[in-house]
Amino acid sequence: MKIGFLVIDMQSVHLEGIEKKHVDRACEYINYVANMVRSNGHVVIHIRDIEGLTEENREAYDTIPEIHVEAADRTLTKEYSNSFWKTELEHILREQGVEFVVISGNAAEHCVLFTYNGALERGFSAVMLQNGILSRFDDVISATYRDRNIVSYPAIKYMLKPRSPQ
């Protein structure tokens, strides 16, 4: 089963108001999983929300330097909360043979949740990365995890292990 790892809206303009320690912790989990996924030949896609982007504020819309973006990673821009809406995301995932989508990033109550729902609506199995989503509101993260499928990095590590034929 091919995995697609989505890193959503990890841009300084969208992370304003979130405590740095929370951002740093999420980045640690996101980078660890992204490295695992890419080193096993799976897909990492960084998604940036460019709604409101102008020439004057362009830097604030870049992915923060704490998130490691590698040459093999894909990058996608969007203007709506659902990363599938009016983008090439579904096409990219299908072209890569992805069936299972792991979602991380910001904001749990908006773009992360809407993208999660968008993945399910398009027939992908979808989960959120435990400790890998952010919000300005701590209770939103708890509610998001409580009501949705989540996955830990050890479970992803297990899923990526080569299996011997039976």
Domain residue ranges of the chain, discontinuous segments joined by +: 2-160
| 115/125 Cα distance (integer angstroms) | 12
164 has a pLDDT exceeding 80: no
Neighbours of 60 (CB within 10 A): 16
Domain 2-160 - what CATH class?
alpha beta
| 166/163 Cα distance (integer angstroms) | 9
13-40 tens-digit pLDDT: 999 999 999 999 999 999 999 999 999 9
166 has a pLDDT exceeding 70: no
**7 touches 28 (CB < 8 A):** no
| pTM (two decimals) | 0.95
60-114 tens-digit pLDDT: 999 999 999 999 999 999 999 999 999 999 999 999 999 999 999 999 999 999 9
**11 touches 61 (CB < 8 A):** yes
125-144 tens-digit pLDDT: 999 999 999 999 989 999 99
